[in-house]
Amino acid sequence: MDNVITTILTKPAFDVEKVRNDFPVLKTKAHGKPLIYFDNAATSQKPQVVIDKLVDYYSNYNANIHRGVHYLSQKASIEFDVVRSIVQKFINAASEREIIFVRGTTEGINLVASTYGRQNVKAGDEIIVTAMEHHSNIVPWQMLCEEKGATLKVIPMNDNGEVIMEEYKKLLSPKTKLVSVVHTSNSLGTINPVKDIIRLAHEKNIPVFVDAAQGIVHSTIDVQDLDCDFLSFSGHKVFSPTGIGVLYGKAELLEAMPPYQGGGEMISSVKFEKTTYNEIPYKFEAGTPNIADVIGMGAGLDYFSSIDQKGAHAHEKALLKYAEDKLAAIEGVRLIGTAKEKASVVSFVIDGLNAMDVGMYLDTLGIAVRTGQHCTEPVMDRFCIPGTIRASFLFYNTFAEIDALTEGVKKAIKLLKG
């Protein structure tokens, strides 16, 4: 407990109990025990303000947006449109026109692969990703490469789970048409030197896509400072509803790209002879959008902006250090992912034990962790392991919860080793 005391004495107090009250689900019981939610890298919990916003929309102004002349539609349109500006400010984009609403990070990546990729990648070209990508940032590019006869190149990582920048520099070539990198690894916690990766690519006029699915909640994302060309994130990992996310793209790139899907909203004029397309961002938003969840995401991002983010990130960092130290001290536990720059994600294996068995035992104690490959099979192959137990923390988690986790792990070892 010394760590806790030091933290309290040296860090500006971040009021965990206060923010915990914002999240009703944290009062839930799991198998009759108080819930300890450590599956935040899979999805964050939702604050009451987001839940209220969704209920308010459906209860009081549910209507299809834009072009509706009636009161409800206008109210819904205003609430919807303001979210684009909330997102713009949240990631510091230069313009609202650069914000496209998508279902999530996966759709953001697929959109760029299907439009920018199809337009610009040809036979013999190369696309670069890192060895720690989520399957979502591998498969769309593989599909594009297969279609075009291009090749996917992989920046290797070291035993700590850090990309090897020297190898990256060697991979950049006139054949490279795009670099797509994960900001923060979901299975290792590694925060990549994205700014350097982008700078090096830009020296050779290669655009860079950033998968910020995890990064969005653990770091402050400023797309102009990063100078990334594309960036995508999912609302549900940042206190917002599922089924909604954001694709950011530099305006000049988005303007030059062909549309993604055809339908309503994305058109300017439809004639049987020839259809002309709407301006960005609408060109990429065919059909009735996910109105409720866009509005919910506005509330989620506003909530996150309203709390002390620096304090939140510092608290998460302290939780990470505390958990890593306590888990590593248990005999047989090995941490997977020991990068210098890490988000609050702890992946570990236990000698001789199956990760799922341990996860299921922790579940009986009310502790929610994730086990398996975390949609990063190549990462597991790299470390020659079938899967890990992953505990991921957000600012509403506590040191006492980590104590419960480490005690649970010790008991799991005792029980499962028989």
Partner 1 sequence: MSIEELEKSIVEDFELFDEWAERYQYIIELGQKLPPLDDKYKVDENKIKGCQSSVWLHAYSENGKVFFEADSDSTFVKGEIALLINVLSGQDPKDIVDTDLKFIDAIGLRQHIAVTRANGLASMIKQMKLYALALNSKQSA
Stretch that binds partner 1, among 112-120, 277-285, 294-302, 350-358 (CB under 8 A): 350-358
**CB 392, CB 41: distance < 8 Å:** yes
Degrees (nearest 5) of the Cα angle 391, 393, 399?
95
Q: Is 39 in the site for partner 1 (CB under 8 A)?
A: no
What distance in Å separates the CA atoms of residue 94 and residue 35, rounded to the nearest whole number? 41
Query: What is the biggest distance separating any 2 CA atoms in the chain, rounded to whole angstroms?
Result: 74
For 345, phi then psi, to 5°, come to -130, 125
Kindly write out the interface string for residues 166-205 of this chain, putting x where it contacts partner 1 by CB under 8 A and - elsewhere. ----------------------------------------
Q: Is 151 in the site for partner 1 (CB under 8 A)?
A: no
Minimum distance, C-beta of residue 52 to partner 1, in the bound complex (Å): 30
Whose Cβ is closer to partner 1: residue 213's or residue 412's? 412
Q: Is 415 in the site for partner 1 (CB under 8 A)?
A: yes
Q: Contacting partner 1 (CB under 8 A), which of 81, 308, 357, 407? A: 357
Stretch that binds partner 1, among 76-84, 194-202, 221-229, 360-368 (CB under 8 A): 360-368
Q: Contacting partner 1 (CB under 8 A), which of 43, 85, 309, 354? A: 354
Q: Is 32 in the site for partner 1 (CB under 8 A)?
A: yes
Q: Which two tokens stand for residue 333?
A: 């536990």
Q: Is 247 in the site for partner 1 (CB under 8 A)?
A: no
> Taking Cα atoms as reference points, which of 348, 383, 108, 114 lies closest to residue 244?
108
Whose Cβ is closer to partner 1: residue 251's or residue 416's? 416
Q: Contacting partner 1 (CB under 8 A), which of 215, 281, 387, 408? A: 387
Kindly list the strands in the beta sheet with 176-182, ordered across the sheet, starting from the edge strand earlier in the chain: 99-102, 245-249, 230-234, 208-211, 176-182, 126-130, 151-155
Stretch that binds partner 1, among 59-67, 185-193, 227-235, 359-367 (CB under 8 A): 359-367
Decide the pairing of beta strands 126-130 and 267-270: unpaired
Q: Transcribe 164-216 into DSSP letters.
A: -HHHHHHH--TTEEEEEEESB-TTT-BBP-HHHHHHHHHTTT--EEEE-TTHH
Q: Is 349 in the site for partner 1 (CB under 8 A)?
A: no
Q: Contacting partner 1 (CB under 8 A), which of 24, 305, 386, 400? A: 386
Whose Cβ is closer to partner 1: residue 287's or residue 386's? 386
Q: Is 43 in the site for partner 1 (CB under 8 A)?
A: no
Q: Is 360 in the site for partner 1 (CB under 8 A)?
A: yes
Decide the pairing of beta strands 36-37 and 367-368: parallel
Q: Is 418 in the site for partner 1 (CB under 8 A)?
A: yes
**CB 218, CB 192: distance < 8 Å:** no
* Beta-bridge mates of residue 154: 129
Q: Contacting partner 1 (CB under 8 A), which of 34, 264, 311, 372? A: 372
Minimum distance, C-beta of residue 353 to partner 1, in the bound complex (Å): 8
> Taking Cα atoms as reference points, which of 244, 217, 221, 242 lies closest to residue 41?
217
What distance in Å separates the CA atoms of residue 54 and residue 47, rounded to the nearest whole number? 11
What distance in Å separates the CA atoms of residue 37 and residue 395, rounded to the nearest whole number? 11
Is 375 known to be catalytic?
yes
Helix (H) or strand (E) holding 77: helix 71-91
Active-site amino acid positions:
375
Chain residues binding partner 1 by CB under 8 A are 31-32, 354-357, 360-361, 364-365, 371-373, 386-387, 415-416, 418
